[in-house]
Amino acid sequence: MSLSENYFTRANEMLARAWTSNAPTIAKLAPLIGRSVAQGGVLHTFGSGHSELIAREIIGRAGGLVCVNGIMDPTAGFVENLVGYGTRLIERHDRQYQLLSGETIIVISNSGKNSSPIEIALYAKKKGLTVVGLTALSMSTTYATVHPDGRKLHEVADYVLDNTGVPGDAIVEVQDGIKAGPTSTLIGCSLLNWLMLAVIEWLKTNGHPLPILRSQNVPGAIEHNRALAERYKSRLSRQLA
């Protein structure tokens, strides 16, 4: 079996396991986030370092909800373990776009032990937001936290989504203990899309409008997207209006 085939087989097994193990949590989150969206609320995301790719997956996304905003780290995670930095990031985000009680934030950290994601989660909880931690429980339950609080992301979060990843992320051994083929982005993005579809289904079932963005390559989509974004004009960092 080639390295690519090995990755394909194992990653899909993990993806299936993630679907099964996270389905109950997604079912609980869908109405919670759906009610907030129906009332005009915003869903916030944060991912430090490579996890920012996952956080961005549902921001300004064709086929996704318009009301998603991200907390962006200009250092791209370079100082994610500088104690206090995550708090400064979310304070700035709060001043610019507002974190409102009853809204939800998804904090993504594969290891679950780094300082910035934990500080983001702690601040959001104090503001009355529901905190969802997306992490690899196999890592976050094993490694020591960097944050002086002593807790890890899964211990701070109200709900946890497990990407079912392995310590070190990569799953294919290529030579003498050296591994390649990480899975956190593949499965993390899938988890968020499953969650967004569950929220959309809840909105549809309960008779609420569906604030779903269209691809700007489709005729009339730009006007449609601008009209959707108008309601959130002061709260989205990626303005569509």
Q: Is the pLDDT confidence value at 239 over 60? A: no
Query: How many CA atoms does the CB half-sphere of 137 hold within 13 Å?
Result: 13
List all residues 6 or more positions away from 83 whose beta carbon is below 8 Å from its beta carbon. 115, 119, 146, 147, 148
Region 188-208 average pLDDT: 98
Range of the structural domain that residue 52 is part of: 21-210
Please, which residues bridge with residue 65 across strands? 212
Q: To the nearest 10°, report the CA torsion of 108, 24, 103, 73.
A: 10
| Residue at 92 is within a domain | yes
Instruction: Report the length, in residues, of the chain.
Output: 241
Closest CA to 73 of 86, 58, 82, 60: 86
Note whether 120 and 89 are within 8 A (CB): yes
pTM equals 0.95
- Residue 139 belongs to domain with CATH number: 3.40.50.10490
pLDDT tens digits, 70-111: 999 988 888 888 889 999 999 999 999 999 999 999 999 999
| Residue at 136 is within a domain | yes
| Residue at 112 is within a domain | yes
| Residue at 162 is within a domain | yes
**What's the domain count of the chain?**
1
